[in-house]
Structure 1
Amino acid sequence: MATEHFDCYYCKENLLGSKYVLREDNPYCVKCYNTLFANNCEDCKKPIGCDFKDLSYKDRHWHEGCFKCAKCARSLVEKPFAAKDELLLCTECYSNEYSSKCFQCKKTIIPGTRKMEFKGNSWHETCFSCKRCRQPIGTKPFIPKDNDSYCVPCFEKQFAYHCTSCKKAITTGGVTYHDQPWHKECFLCTGCKKQLSGKRFTSRDEFPYCLDCFSNLYAKKCFNCTKAISGLGGAKYISFEERQWHSECFNCMKCSISLVGRGFLTQRDDILCPECGRGI
């Protein structure tokens, strides 16, 4: 009659009638299993045998009874906890030692709860509220002013300038013209309606114009080339008997010599240098 054998995979001790542990389909006696596979407890440094519950966190292991707060020694089993410098702490101890304080109410912000951060300060979500309406800002856009925060509607009602053109609030940037505020996109040339922000422009009767429109509409025309004389940016021109010339266009009609700073003669609408004038 054959005898049935059921041995420990490592020490070969017969396991019939004894407690054993299966690992990768192989049976091990309790002693061999604990020696070969049990994790050492981070707290007491003893092996966590198969008869004990093994609690783990980030590749570290504890006996159930050793899994406790490093400061107050309260059990952390099935409770929220935080880690700091390899130590496990209950949320209360962690909050007292390390958590940031709310800028508004000065109370601790409990780990795991939502908080708002701005310019190095922290708030409880419900404490980060509009200075004017006192409603929590949450994830809505806001505008800071003098260490306070305002939701956009309240800021516009209390502080923002309103555009001279569209009458809506100016919350960022803007242009000032004749002591009046404008959105950059609303400050346009009176003639062609192109944006003037960041560009050179001039005005007529207090209305702004780009240089091209002003020249086309109001600038004097050169008697020689018929192009506009803007006079802007220090441009020089010659005026004589209600006629104007660009400095570079004020030349003798016969020999083309420049007459700027020289004497000249006229023959009907022509201007001539003295030499060409004497030959008439």
Structure 2
Amino acid sequence: MAEHFDCHYCKVSLLGKKYILRDNNQYCVKCYENLYSNTCEDCRTPIGSDCKDLSYKDHHWHEQCFKCAKCSRSLVEKPFAAKDENLLCTECYSNEYSSKCFTCKKTIMPGSRKMEYRGNSWHETCFACKRCRQPMGTKPFIPKETDSYCVPCYEKQFALHCSFCKKAITTGGVTYHDQPWHKECFLCTGCKMQLAGQRFTSKDDFPYCLDCFSNLYAKKCAACAKAIAGLGGSKYISFEDRQWHNDCFNCKKCAISLVGRGFLTNRDDVLCPECGRDV
């Protein structure tokens, strides 16, 4: 009995012919390619069994068709990148899509380290201090216009120095008598409370919070002995080197207010005219 060895699909005899096995079934070359060959993304023809089938993300190419979409150089065994379903060699991809260094204007190659700040990019070695030219890497820096400086160089070249501690002021600060101060150094001369953002006054060019100034220098009310600040529009009465709060300027005997009225004095007391007649 003659042995049958036929194509699993078209049943043509495969005796003495080239065939291909798939899932334990044998196929003639023509049937195998019609049934199972992938179509090349470039030339749109089947990739035959006698050709290399190169694939990337479910797409397939003949070996000779696996090339850069822009410069047509072969990408076989070479690094490449994909953009909008096109394959590009690293050089074409970089020229077309990679960031350009803000300093040297050259392409920042894919995979290389880069620094980014305010929408611009730099090679790691190009992101350097404008003054000392040392790469800043991940160290803190201070921008000025279009340039950047490491902190020591910025302090040497631009920063104001605090009138109190003499150290550089890199952020914020307070100006008092045309002199710069750190916020944390601008303190009340009396209690040492920070004055930045607070109401304050001065005496002999020294700053004071309102409480300290009132306690130390403000006039004292002859009636209640408390300070008359005289700040923020406070009103007071003055008579013969003595002062009273408006609310304290009252008749010693009947306590009627004497503001805007005539009055008499009896030693250290002030009296309304009526009570003064009885003295």
What is residue 230 of structure 1 aligned with on the other side?
A: 229
1:211 shift after superposition: 1.1
Structure 2: unaligned runs, 5 residues or longer: none
3-state secondary structure, aligned to 2:130: coil
Cα deviation 1:120-144 (Å, max 9, x = unaligned):
3322221221111111122211112
Cα deviation 1:45-76 (Å, max 9, x = unaligned):
3455776434213x544444333211111122
What is residue 56 of structure 1 aligned with on the other side?
A: 56
Answer whether contact 1:252 1:273 (CA < 8 A) is retained: yes
Q: How many residues align?
A: 273
Give the alignment of 1:1-280 within 5 angstroms.
19-22=20-23, 40-46=39-45, 52-57=52-57, 59-280=58-279
1:183 shift after superposition: 0.9
CA distance in 2, matches of 1:245, 1:39: 104
1:28 shift after superposition: 7.8
Answer whether contact 2:70 2:92 (CA < 8 A) is retained: yes
1:184 shift after superposition: 0.8
Q: Which residue identity is paired with 1:120?
A: G
After superposition, the Cα gap between the structure-2 partners of 1:18 and 1:230, relative to the gap in structure 1 and judged at 3 Å, is: same
Bigger shift: residues 84-93 or 36-45: 36-45
State the TM-score, normalized to the length of structure 1. Answer: 0.82
CA distance in 1, matches of 2:73, 2:165: 64
3-state secondary structure, aligned to 2:100: coil
1:201 shift after superposition: 0.9
CA distance in 2, matches of 1:121, 1:227: 62
State the TM-score, normalized to the length of structure 2. Answer: 0.83
Answer whether contact 2:54 2:66 (CA < 8 A) is retained: no
Q: Cα RMSD over matched residues? A: 3.2
1:236 shift after superposition: 1.2
Answer whether contact 1:69 1:75 (CA < 8 A) is retained: yes
CA distance in 2, matches of 1:133, 1:146: 17
Q: Which residue identity is paired with 1:230?
A: A
Q: Which residue identity is paired with 1:176?
A: T
1:84 shift after superposition: 2.7
CA distance in 2, matches of 1:48, 1:274: 123
After superposition, the Cα gap between the structure-2 partners of 1:18 and 1:214, relative to the gap in structure 1 and judged at 3 Å, is: same
Cα deviation 1:16-63 (Å, max 9, x = unaligned):
9963235xxx86858887677765443233455776434213x54444
Cα deviation 1:138-162 (Å, max 9, x = unaligned):
2211112232211111111111111
Answer whether contact 1:48 1:54 (CA < 8 A) is retained: no
CA distance in 2, matches of 1:163, 1:77: 64
Bigger shift: residues 166-175 or 103-112: 103-112
CA distance in 1, matches of 2:205, 2:272: 42
CA distance in 2, matches of 1:34, 1:191: 96
3-state secondary structure, aligned to 1:95: helix
Bigger shift: residues 179-188 or 251-260: 251-260
1:253 shift after superposition: 2.2
Structure 1: unaligned runs, 5 residues or longer: none
CA distance in 2, matches of 1:31, 1:153: 76
After superposition, the Cα gap between the structure-2 partners of 1:167 and 1:15, relative to the gap in structure 1 and judged at 3 Å, is: farther
Cα deviation 1:53-110 (Å, max 9, x = unaligned):
34213x5444443332111111223323233333221121122223333222222222
Answer whether contact 2:114 2:123 (CA < 8 A) is retained: yes
3-state secondary structure, aligned to 1:234: coil
After superposition, the Cα gap between the structure-2 partners of 1:79 and 1:236, relative to the gap in structure 1 and judged at 3 Å, is: farther
After superposition, the Cα gap between the structure-2 partners of 1:87 and 1:192, relative to the gap in structure 1 and judged at 3 Å, is: same
